[in-house]
Amino acid sequence: MWEHHTAHLLQWTGERFCSDLTDEPAFCRVLTVRDLTKHYGPLVALADVSFSLEPGEFFGLLGPNGAGKTTFMSLIAGLRAVDRGEILLHGKRFCPDRLEQRAQIGYVPQELALYVDLTAEENLRLFGQLYGLRGSLLRERVAEGLHAAQLEARRHDLVKTFSGGMRRRLNIVAAVLHRPQLLLCDEPTVGVDPQSRNAIFEFVEKLHAEGTTIVYSTHYMEEATRLCSRIGIIDHGKLLALGTLDELLEELPFTEQIRIARNDATAAQVGAFGEFGNVVATDETYVLRPRAGLHLSEFFAAMERLELPYRYFTVTRPTLENVFLHRTGKSLRDA
């Protein structure tokens, strides 16, 4: 896949004919996909995915292993052929052979796309050249990239001597040297420590603040929650849900959960908890999903009457994990 990626950049020589005619006015949307479908033999990796991105959106594609995230990214990056459906970039039909369209896209592949026998600086120079940068602009962007990746002190070291986090940071800055309007980040934080993860978050947040539209795939709901203004949940190639975090949470049949410490005192009152909703016992807690319309104050007044201390209870908002569970019947982690 990685060789594929560079090979594609190297092919930036000619443009094939590609019809512009679409029914979408140009520039209103950065990206539109309609009925996007991809098979690998009999396996349907992506099935009829349709949505649009407005300029400046930070869109999260959240799904477990094998959901179809990389397949989606690779179609938008023009690395794989679409089987059915279409991709529009700024209202124009996307044709991967078109230089001016490819220049609008930056792609951070899930598999590191770096030459380990070159230095950090040599890698960035090479990528910059592949994107058509030359002279002082190339030098400027390489210097900015090394700074953003916090690798100035290691600029002359071979990438094979870098840690996983350092490679990940370099992998991202390499994708934005040409200042793309649309950045595709495919699980950019996998396998990095919290410090590098934060550096990556800050970098993509800065790009977003500067106006870059971002598609960010992850199977960490915490990342999608923190970074993304809109989230699509994908599983088995299908887009199961799409919306802001609040919109996705609103579709759940419950709003809060109450976690109750599991001990002798609470075990004796499980029946009383059950009057307020559905109770599920886990190893250390009872999880109460309050019935619709319940005011939590009613529950806590009852607990006071039972003389159960407040420290036994924690109220938690539902998460994207609950949305995923609600949609698929399984957890994001074990999907």
Q: Residue 117 contacts by C-beta under 8 Å, 6 or more apart in sequence?
A: 158, 159, 160
- x/- binding map, residues 23-42, to ligand ATP, per CB under 6 A? -----------------x--
The verdict on 168 binding ligand ATP (CB under 6 A) reads no
- DSSP 3-state of 62: strand
Do residues 231 and 244 lie in contact, with contact meaning Cβ atoms separated by under 8 Å?
A: yes
> Shortest approach of ligand ATP to residue 57 CB, angstroms?
20
Site for ligand ATP in 251-270 (CB under 6 A): none
| 2 binds ligand ATP, rule: CB under 6 A | no
**66 contributes a contact to ligand ATP by CB under 6 A:** yes
Q: State the binding partner of 168 from ligand ATP, Mg ion, none, CB within 5 to 8 A by kind.
A: none
Largest CA distance in the chain: 78
Stretch that binds ligand ATP, among 48-56, 63-71, 165-173, 260-268 (CB under 6 A): 63-71
Q: Cα–Cα distance between 105 and 92 in angstroms, integer?
A: 14
- For β-strands 43-53 and 213-218, DSSP reports them as unpaired
Helices (H), 268-319: 270-274, 296-305
CB of 79 vs ligand ATP, minimal distance in Å: 11
Q: Which residues, 6+ apart, have CB-to-CB distance to 16 below 8 Å?
A: 95, 97, 98
Rounded CA separation 49/37 (Å): 7
- Residues for the chain: how many in total? 335
The residue (of 151 and 233) whose beta carbon lies closer to Mg ion is: 233
- For residue 17, the minimal CB distance to ligand ATP (Å) is 28
Min CB(176)–ligand ATP separation in Å: 21
Whole-number minimum distance, CB 321 to Mg ion, in Å?
Answer: 19
**Dist CA 298 CA 303 (whole Å):** 9
Q: Give whichever of 26 and 43 is closer to ligand ATP, judged by the CB atom.
A: 43
Closer to ligand ATP at the Cβ: 197 or 219?
A: 219
Q: What does the binding site for Mg ion look like in residue numbers (CB under 5 A)?
A: 69-70, 110
Q: Residue 110 interacts with ligand ATP (CB under 6 A)?
A: yes
Residue 219 binds ligand ATP, judged by CB under 6 A = yes
Q: Which of 96, 223, 109, 227 is nearest to 174 (CA)?
A: 109
Q: Which of 29, 69, 102, 197 binds ligand ATP (CB under 6 A)?
A: 69
Point out which span in 69-77, 140-148, 249-257, 272-280 binds ligand ATP (CB under 6 A).
69-77
Q: CB of residue 190 vs ligand ATP: minimum separation in angstroms?
A: 8
Angle ∠(247,279,301) on CA atoms, nearest 5: 90
Q: Is the dihedral of CA 241, 243, 244, 246 positive or negative?
A: negative
Q: Give the separation between CA 26 and CA 28, rounded to whole angstroms.
A: 6
For residues 52 and 31, the answer to whether their CB atoms sit within 8 Å is: yes
Cβ 45 to Mg ion, closest distance in Å? 10
Closest CB to Mg ion: residue number:
70
- Read off the DSSP letter of residue 55: T
In the complex, minimum distance from the CB of residue 79 to Mg ion, in angstroms, rounded to a whole number = 13
Interaction between residue 215 and ligand ATP (CB under 6 A): no
CB of 43 or CB of 116, closer to ligand ATP: 43
- Binding residues for ligand ATP, per CB under 6 A? 40, 43, 45, 63, 65-71, 110, 219
